[in-house]
Amino acid sequence: METLTVVIIEDEEAHFSLMKRAIAREFSSASVVHFLDATTCLERLDQINPTVIITDYLMPGMNGIEFLEVLNQQNIDAPVIMITGQGDENIAVRAIKSGAKDYLVKSGDFFTLLPSVIERIVRENELKQSLSLSERRFQDLAESIFSWLWEMDVHGRYIYSNRVVEVLLGYKTDEVIGKYFYDFFSNSDKQALKNEIYQIIEKVEPIRIFDTIFIRKDGLEVIMVTNGIPFFDKKGNLLGYRGISQDISERKRTETHIRNLSQQLINAQETERQMISYELHDRVAQDLSVSKIECYMLLNHQPGLQSEVKEKLLAISNCLQGVITSVRDLSYDLRPPVLADMGIAEALKIYCEEFSKKNGLEIDFQSAGLHSFSLDSNIEIHLYRLVQEGLNNIRKHAHAAQVNIMLMGASPNIILSIEDNGKGFDLKTRELALVNEKRMGLQNMKQRVNLFQGQMTIQSRPMRGTKILIKIPFKRQKSESETAHINH
């Protein structure tokens, strides 16, 4: 407790002396200032800055109640203890209503009680000032940051909002109070988001990174990210949620722009791969085949060739056949023709069979539910590359014997699962390595998935294998029968 400055307004000197002695006994460093009447005290009060004021009710001139009323008029916030020689309940009630912190009767134990009452009143006042300071600090922060701070009750009605909402959404704070959180949502997904938030409230869970399109007062759209936590009363009953919402429209536009640029880059790479594939298949492989035929013709139509020349021609022919096979394999890897001819499921089935034969790896490929989706060539080639990169990673690093791959259409997502029984790895260590990884691998797979705003999760433990689960959002296309049914 800080050093006390006690002001006592008491016209009886003997009574004042006894009070001063009682205070000095409990608070040795306290400073006590005495006034005989309230008027004189008021004249010097701003010079004293008292910690607590003790005033008698009956005094010459101004009585104790009138003194309290003047303090209220002048906004002097000093705790006051009222004392009187008679226990009048009406005076006590009037004193408390006028702002007195306590009321004491000059009884036999008055001087014993006074120090403890002073200590309690001072403690309460210090707590009040501390709370007031914290509230002012919160208000200053709430109005200085460029984020929407809010509170809502258990029904989802706003009960507090800082003034930043006027900048972000165009509404004044008094226009926001009383509205429901979903009143500002875009109509396109209002019901789904409303239900999602109410489910969170019902479970009393935090609101975590909730992206939502808000509609400004002027009709423009703003993308906001919201975080919030529940708050409770003293009995643990939920009172509502308080949180913060931030405008991320510019960030989302930047992310979309970057994603579009990345998409264009990868599309350009795929186009270049296609051109190289055609060049390898239609020209290089054909030229090599012609050279092989020429060797064959020399071997079979020139009987006079020396045996050494024949052996060299045979070796060249065999070498050309190996190069032709490699060129054609490279051409197919760059742009598999079966993808355009038979679709993603059949193309991946064939690729997995060929990969299994070449690498001695048992691969079980399954597909389901893709008939409900109309996949364009762009997403098909990305799915094909994801499986390619996944299998190459397993071949290079996993030391696995078995791989299970599932490609499934489950509206509204396309789901790709790649699971192996290899040596696995520690996820935290691997995630740190991904930051600096430059080769084709998990990082490249993540980038491909991000292009379609999908999700890629990895489950792995040392010696327990690895599972990669990819979800890519995709709207299911209605079948002809469904469309006909709707039209009828």
**Domain CATH for 183:** 3.30.450.20
Which residue in 358, 359, 381, 392 sits closest to 468, CA to CA?
Answer: 392
Whichever domain contains 116, its CATH number is 3.40.50.2300
**47 within 8 A of 23, measured Cβ to Cβ:** no
Whichever domain contains 389, its CATH number is 3.30.565.10
Residue ending a domain, choose from 219, 247, 275: 247
402-410 and 31-35: which strand pairing?
Answer: unpaired
Is residue 352 domain-shared with residue 453, that is, in the same domain?
yes
Is residue 15 domain-shared with residue 116, that is, in the same domain?
yes
* CA–CA dist 360, 402 (Å, integer): 10
Is residue 348 domain-shared with residue 478, that is, in the same domain?
yes
* CA–CA dist 212, 246 (Å, integer): 10
66, two tokens:
């009138």
Is residue 126 domain-shared with residue 22, that is, in the same domain?
yes
Residue ending a domain, choose from 289, 313, 335: 335
Render each residue's pLDDT in the chain as its tens digit; 488 residues: 568 899 999 999 999 999 999 999 989 889 999 999 999 999 999 888 899 999 999 888 899 999 999 999 998 888 999 998 877 888 888 999 999 999 998 887 888 899 999 999 988 888 887 777 776 766 666 566 778 999 999 999 999 999 899 999 999 999 999 999 999 998 888 898 999 999 999 999 999 988 899 999 999 999 999 999 999 998 999 999 999 999 999 988 888 888 788 778 877 877 777 778 777 777 787 888 888 888 878 877 777 777 888 788 888 888 988 888 888 778 777 777 778 788 899 999 999 999 999 999 999 999 998 887 788 888 888 899 899 999 999 999 899 999 999 999 988 889 999 999 999 888 777 666 655 554 457 888 888 898 888 999 999 988 889 999 999 988 544 444 433 443 43
79, two tokens:
């705790």
The residue written with tokens 């134990």 in the block is 109
Is residue 357 domain-shared with residue 483, that is, in the same domain?
yes
What pLDDT does residue 480 have? 42
Is residue 412 domain-shared with residue 457, that is, in the same domain?
yes
What pLDDT does residue 488 have? 36
Amino acid letter, 377: S
Is residue 37 domain-shared with residue 19, that is, in the same domain?
yes
pTM score, whole prediction: 0.50
Which residue in 315, 326, 335, 338 sits closest to 285, CA to CA?
Answer: 326
Is residue 484 domain-shared with residue 361, that is, in the same domain?
yes
Is residue 369 domain-shared with residue 478, that is, in the same domain?
yes
Domain that holds residue 31: 5-136
Element (H, E) at 427: helix 427-436
Is residue 487 domain-shared with residue 351, that is, in the same domain?
yes
What pLDDT does residue 483 have? 39
Residue ending a domain, choose from 281, 307, 335: 335
Is residue 348 domain-shared with residue 486, that is, in the same domain?
yes
Is residue 237 domain-shared with residue 322, that is, in the same domain?
no
Q: Total structural domains in the chain? A: 4
What pLDDT does residue 2 have? 65
What pLDDT does residue 33 have? 94
Bridge partner list, 180 = 157
